[in-house]
Chain A
Amino acid sequence: MITGTKKDKRLSNYFKAVLLSLLAFVPWVWNSTKDTLPLIEVNPASVGYYQTNVCDISFIKLLFSSFFNSSLVLTTTNVENISCVGKIMGMDNINGKIAVYIGTNQVIDILFQSIFWIGLICFIKKDHLNLKSNYLPVLVVPLIFCLQLVGEQRYYLLIHKGYNNTLNLENYYLLNYVLAYLIITLLIKEFVIPRASNLTNYLPFVFLIVGTFNLVNTNIYLIIGSFFGIMRLQKIKIFNTLNLFYFFLSTMWLSLSNYQNSFFDVDKLRGFSNSSSTFSSKLFWIIVVFLTINGLWYLLEISSNTLNLEKLRVNFLMSGAGIIIFGFIGSLIPVANFLNQYYFGQNKKGIDKIFSIDGNTWRGFASSAEAVGEFFAFTLLLNCIILFWNNKSIKLSEVPFLIICIYGLLRANNSAAIISLLIFLIILFMQKKTLISNRGRIYLFISFSLIIGIGTYFIIDYYSYGSLSKGLLFNAFEYSNLFIGAEPYFNNLNYFEDNNIQSILLFNDQGGNVSSSILFLLDKFTPENNMKFIPNPVAIVSFISVIINRSEKWGLFLAKYNPEFNEFLFGYGPVQFNEYYSSSTSTNISGLILPHSSLLNLIIFSGLIGTIFVLAYLIYTIKTYKENGSFIIYLLFFQIVNLLKSDSLAYISSLFLLLFTIYLVNNSSKIFAKKEKVLS
Chain B
Amino acid sequence: MEKNSITNTICGFPKEGEFLPDIGSDPNFIFVNDASFESVRLIDIDGNIVNVNSWIECAHYVKGGWSTNQDSLITSEYTLFLVLSLSIAFYLGIRVFKRVLK
Q: Mark A137-180, 1 if CB is under 8 A from B, else 0.
A: 00000000000000000000000011000000000110110011
Assess A52 versus B72: contact at CB under 8 Å? Given A90-B63, A92-B22, A108-B80: no
Q: Distance (Å) between the CB of A49 and the closest chain B CB?
A: 7
Across the interface, do A36 and B3 meet the contact criterion of CB distance under 8 Å? yes
Across the interface, do B22 and A81 meet the contact criterion of CB distance under 8 Å? no
> Contacting A83 at CB < 8 Å: which of B14, B24, B76?
B76
Assess A37 versus B21: contact at CB under 8 Å? Given A54-B7, A161-B44, A176-B81: no
Q: Jot down 20 A-B pairs with beta carbons below 8 A, ordered by A.
A: A36-B5, A48-B19, A56-B6, A81-B73, A81-B76, A82-B76, A82-B79, A89-B63, A90-B63, A94-B25, A107-B84, A108-B80, A161-B44, A161-B65, A162-B45, A162-B46, A182-B88, A183-B88, A183-B91, A186-B88
Across the interface, do B22 and A47 meet the contact criterion of CB distance under 8 Å? yes
Assess A183 versus B63: contact at CB under 8 Å? Given A80-B76, A81-B76, A172-B77: no
Q: Does B52 contact A (CB under 8 A)?
A: no
For B88, the chain A residues whose CB sits under 8 A away are: 179, 182-183, 186
Interface residues of B (CB under 8 A from A): 2-7, 14, 19-22, 24-25, 44-46, 59, 62-63, 65, 72-74, 76-81, 84-85, 87-88, 91
Additional 18 contacts, C-beta under 8 A, given A53-B6, A56-B5 = A36-B5, A48-B20, A48-B22, A51-B22, A52-B19, A52-B63, A53-B2, A53-B7, A54-B62, A56-B4, A80-B45, A80-B76, A107-B80, A161-B44, A162-B77, A172-B77, A179-B84, A182-B88
Q: Does A93 contact B (CB under 8 A)?
A: yes
For A107, the chain B residues whose CB sits under 8 A away are: 80, 84
Q: CA A139 – CA B65 in complex, angstroms?
A: 35
Across the interface, do B20 and A173 meet the contact criterion of CB distance under 8 Å? no
For A89, the chain B residues whose CB sits under 8 A away are: 63
For B84, the chain A residues whose CB sits under 8 A away are: 107, 111, 176, 179-180, 183
Q: CA A94 – CA B44 in complex, angstroms?
A: 27
Q: CA A175 – CA B45 in complex, angstroms?
A: 18
Assess A48 versus B85: contact at CB under 8 Å? Given A36-B2, A80-B45, A90-B63: no
Q: Distance (Å) between the CB of A113 and the closest chain B CB?
A: 15
Q: CA A375 – CA B60 in complex, angstroms?
A: 47
Across the interface, do A37 and B78 meet the contact criterion of CB distance under 8 Å? no
> Contacting B73 at CB < 8 Å: which of A80, A92, A94, A111?
A80
For A108, the chain B residues whose CB sits under 8 A away are: 80
Assess A172 versus B45: contact at CB under 8 Å? Given A81-B72, A81-B73: no
Q: CA A111 – CA B65 in complex, angstroms?
A: 23
For A79, the chain B residues whose CB sits under 8 A away are: 65
The chain B residue with its CB closest to the CB of A160 is B45
> Contacting A37 at CB < 8 Å: which of B2, B74, B77?
B2
For A501, the chain B residues whose CB sits under 8 A away are: none
For A54, the chain B residues whose CB sits under 8 A away are: 6-7, 62-63
Q: Does A650 contact B (CB under 8 A)?
A: no
Q: Distance (Å) between the CB of B7 and the closest chain A CB?
A: 6
Q: CA A173 – CA B3 in complex, angstroms?
A: 32
Which A residues, 65 to 102, have Cβ-Cβ distances below 8 Å to chain B? 79-83, 89-90, 92-94
Across the interface, do B77 and A176 meet the contact criterion of CB distance under 8 Å? yes
Q: Mark A100-115, 1 if CB is under 8 A from B, else 0.
A: 0000010110010000
Enumerate the 10 nearest inter-chain pairs by beta-carbon distance, A residue then B residue, closest first.
A179-B84, A172-B77, A36-B4, A48-B19, A161-B45, A52-B20, A82-B76, A56-B5, A162-B45, A53-B5
Q: Does A321 contact B (CB under 8 A)?
A: no
The chain B residue with its CB closest to the CB of A52 is B20
Interface residues of A (CB under 8 A from B): 36-37, 47-49, 51-56, 79-83, 89-90, 92-94, 105, 107-108, 111, 161-162, 172-173, 175-176, 179-180, 182-183, 186
Assess A51 versus B44: contact at CB under 8 Å? Given A93-B25, A107-B80: no
For B46, the chain A residues whose CB sits under 8 A away are: 161-162
Across the interface, do B7 and A172 meet the contact criterion of CB distance under 8 Å? no
Across the interface, do B78 and A51 meet the contact criterion of CB distance under 8 Å? no
Across the interface, do B25 and A92 meet the contact criterion of CB distance under 8 Å? yes
> Contacting B72 at CB < 8 Å: which of A83, A90, A93?
A83
For B87, the chain A residues whose CB sits under 8 A away are: 183
> Contacting A172 at CB < 8 Å: which of B19, B22, B80?
B80
For A36, the chain B residues whose CB sits under 8 A away are: 2-5
- Best-buried of B44, B74, B84 by chain A (most CB within 10 Å): B84
Across the interface, do B14 and A52 meet the contact criterion of CB distance under 8 Å? yes
Assess A175 versus B20: contact at CB under 8 Å? Given A36-B2, A81-B73: no
Q: CA A173 – CA B80 in complex, angstroms?
A: 9
Across the interface, do B22 and A93 meet the contact criterion of CB distance under 8 Å? yes
Q: Distance (Å) between the CB of B80 and the closest chain A CB?
A: 5
For B44, the chain A residues whose CB sits under 8 A away are: 161
Q: CA A175 – CA B88 in complex, angstroms?
A: 13
Across the interface, do A179 and B81 meet the contact criterion of CB distance under 8 Å? yes
For A48, the chain B residues whose CB sits under 8 A away are: 19-22
Q: CA A520 – CA B76 in complex, angstroms?
A: 56
For B19, the chain A residues whose CB sits under 8 A away are: 48-49, 51-52
Q: CA A161 – CA B14 in complex, angstroms?
A: 28
Q: CA A484 – CA B62 in complex, angstroms?
A: 47
Q: Distance (Å) between the CB of A48 and the closest chain B CB?
A: 4
For A180, the chain B residues whose CB sits under 8 A away are: 84
For A172, the chain B residues whose CB sits under 8 A away are: 74, 77-78, 80-81
Q: CA A175 – CA B22 in complex, angstroms?
A: 38
Q: Distance (Å) between the CB of B63 and the closest chain A CB?
A: 5
Q: Distance (Å) between the CB of B6 and the closest chain A CB?
A: 5
For B65, the chain A residues whose CB sits under 8 A away are: 79-80, 161
Q: Distance (Å) between the CB of B30 and the closest chain A CB?
A: 18
Q: Distance (Å) between the CB of A667 and the closest chain B CB?
A: 36
Q: CA A53 – CA B24 in complex, angstroms?
A: 16
For B24, the chain A residues whose CB sits under 8 A away are: 92
> Contacting B20 at CB < 8 Å: which of A51, A55, A56, A111?
A51
For B14, the chain A residues whose CB sits under 8 A away are: 52
For B78, the chain A residues whose CB sits under 8 A away are: 172
Q: CA A183 – CA B3 in complex, angstroms?
A: 39
Across the interface, do B81 and A37 meet the contact criterion of CB distance under 8 Å? no
Q: Distance (Å) between the CB of B81 and the closest chain A CB?
A: 5
For B74, the chain A residues whose CB sits under 8 A away are: 172
Q: Distance (Å) between the CB of A602 and the closest chain B CB?
A: 39
For A56, the chain B residues whose CB sits under 8 A away are: 2, 4-7
Q: CA A51 – CA B25 in complex, angstroms?
A: 13
Q: CA A105 – CA B65 in complex, angstroms?
A: 14
For A183, the chain B residues whose CB sits under 8 A away are: 84, 87-88, 91
For B77, the chain A residues whose CB sits under 8 A away are: 80, 162, 172-173, 176
Q: CA A56 – CA B63 in complex, angstroms?
A: 11
Q: CA A329 – CA B82 in complex, angstroms?
A: 39
Q: CA A173 – CA B59 in complex, angstroms?
A: 27
Across the interface, do A51 and B63 meet the contact criterion of CB distance under 8 Å? yes
Q: CA A306 – CA B19 in complex, angstroms?
A: 63
For B80, the chain A residues whose CB sits under 8 A away are: 82, 105, 107-108, 172, 176
